[in-house]
Amino acid sequence: MFRRISINVRSSRVHKKTIEIGGIGAMVYGFLAVTRMHDLMVSIGLLFSLAALLAATHALYIERRWLVFAWGSICLALSLVSAAMYYGNVFYCFLPVVQKVSLVACIGWILSLHYTRMDQEPAHERSALVAGSARKPSSTSPQCH
Q: Who has greater pLDDT, 123 or 72?
A: 72
Q: Are 73 and 83 in contact (CB under 8 A)?
A: no
Average pLDDT over residues 111-127: 64
Q: What is the pLDDT of residue 74?
A: 94
pTM above 0.95, yes or no: no
Out of 21-25, 41-45, 114-118, pick the least confident.
114-118
Half-sphere exposure in the Cβ direction for 8 (13 Å, CA)? 18
Apex 62 CA angle, 59 and 48, nearest 5: 20
CA distance 9 to 115: 13
Other CB atoms within 10 A of residue 50 CB = 16
pLDDT, one tens digit per residue, over 52-109 is 999 989 988 988 888 889 999 999 999 999 999 999 989 989 999 999 999 999 999 8
Q: What is the pLDDT of residue 23?
A: 87
Q: Are 53 and 72 in contact (CB under 8 A)?
A: yes
Cα separations in angstroms, 145 against 59, 133, 134: 49, 21, 19
Q: Are 85 and 145 in contact (CB under 8 A)?
A: no
Half-sphere exposure in the Cβ direction for 35 (13 Å, CA)? 10
